[in-house]
Structure 1
Amino acid sequence: MMLAKKNNSKKRIQVNIDKDLVDNAEEILDKLGLNTTTALTMFYKKIVATDGIPFDLQLTKEQKANANLEDALKAVPQQNIKNNKEAEKVLFDDEN
């Protein structure tokens, strides 16, 4: 995030955000009768009023499950299988 002073009472904020995300958010804001500047001002005021981020920052159940799966997969030994015979040995050999 890049902050540049405009004057003593205002500060210009410049950020790079995914275009699709911005378009979707602006469509919702428009339906609410808000523009981006007003919405961000409201967000900043809420940060100050609550002395923190004004919403929970938590993973969804799906994100938690994906993270757990990724962690579990990291623990699985990886083998380089070159042909069907090697694949059958890995899959069906009781010693693996």
Structure 2
Amino acid sequence: MLKELSSLLKTAVTAGANKALATCCPSQGRLTKAQAYRRFGRYNVDRWLSEGLIELTSVNPSISKKTFDRAKLEAIAASSNRVTYLPVAER
């Protein structure tokens, strides 16, 4: 029960922080590849790209800079349950 409560509180705090950031800084809805690497880890981002879970897109076709959708990355990271994966020794 305590574990469930801490999970609910973590989810509420994360949602509140994301809402506050979206309100005060609406331009932060996109992340560059380097920013995604720093935030979620290079291995995870590359794995999500290879699995087709995320893709680099450009918001403006006249600009060649490609970015990730921050909300989509957050959702994928939240649903990625790495705790249940087997350690290398047990595979």
Which category describes the TM-score, using the shorter chain as reference length?
under 0.3
TM-score (norm: length of structure 1): 0.23
| Larger RCO: 1 or 2 (CA < 8 Å, sep 6+) | 2
Q: Which is higher, the Rg of structure 1 or of structure 2?
A: 1
